[in-house]
Structure 1
Amino acid sequence: MKSIVNTLLFGIALIVSGAVLAADRYLLNAGDVLEISVWNEDSLQKTVIVLPDGMVTFPLAGEVEAQGKTVADVQAALKQQLKDYLTDPVVTVSVVNVDGNNIHVLGKVLNPGNFVMSKPLDAMQALSLAGGLSPYAKENNIIVLRRIGDKQQAIPVHYGSIIKGQDLTSNVMLKSGDVIVIP
Structure 2
Amino acid sequence: MFKLIFGFFTALLLAAAAQAQSGYKIKTGDTLRVEVLEDDSLSRSTLVLPDGSITFPLAGGVAAAGRTVDQVRNDLTNALTPNFAAKPRVFVSVDALAEPAVQSAVVVPRAVRAVYVMGEITTPGMLEASRSTTLLQALAQAGGLTRFAADKRIQLRRGNKIYLYNYRTNGGSGISGSTVLVPGDVIVVPQRRLFE
Distance (Å, rounded) in 2 between the aligned partners of 1:83 and 1:18? 29
Aligned equivalent of 1:22: 20
Rg comparison, structure with higher value: 1
Structure 1 residues 81-100: aligned runs within 5 Å: 81-87=79-85, 88-99=87-98
Report how far residue 103 of structure 1 moved: 4.4
Corresponding residue pairs, total: 104
Aligned 1:85-164 pairs, distance under 5 A: 85-87=83-85, 88-99=87-98, 102-106=100-104
TM score, norm. by length of structure 2 = 0.48
Which residue does the alignment assign to 2:152?
A: none
In structure 1, the gaps of 5 or more residues are 108-183
Distance 1:41 1:49 in 2: 20
Partner of 1:31: 29
- 1:95 and 1:74 map into 2 onto residues whose CA distance is 11
Cα distance in 2 between the residues matched to 1:103 and 1:14: 33
How far apart are the structure 2 equivalents of 1:41 and 1:11?
31
Identify if the C-alpha distance between structure 1 residues 39 and 13 changes in structure 2 by more than 3 Å, giving closer, same or farther. closer
TM-align CA RMSD: 1.9
Q: Which residue of 2 aligns with 1:40?
A: 38
Q: Which amino acid aligns with 2:79?
A: Q
Matches of 1:92 and 1:12, distance apart in 2 = 19
Following the alignment from structure 1 to structure 2, what is the Cα–Cα distance between the partners of residues 12 and 39? Answer: 22
Quote the offset at 1:8 in angstroms.
Answer: 3.2
Q: Secondary structure at the match of 1:52?
A: coil
Q: Percent identity?
A: 36
Residues of 1 paired with 2:66 and 2:3: CA distance? Answer: 40
Corresponding residue for residue 65 of structure 1: 63
Q: After the TM superposition, which parts of structure 1 deviate over 6 Å for at least 4 consecutive aligned residues? A: none
Identify unmatched segments of 5+ residues in structure 2.
106-196
| 1:51 CA displacement | 0.3
- Of 39-48 and 20-29, deviating more is 39-48
Corresponding residue number in structure 1 for 2:72: 74
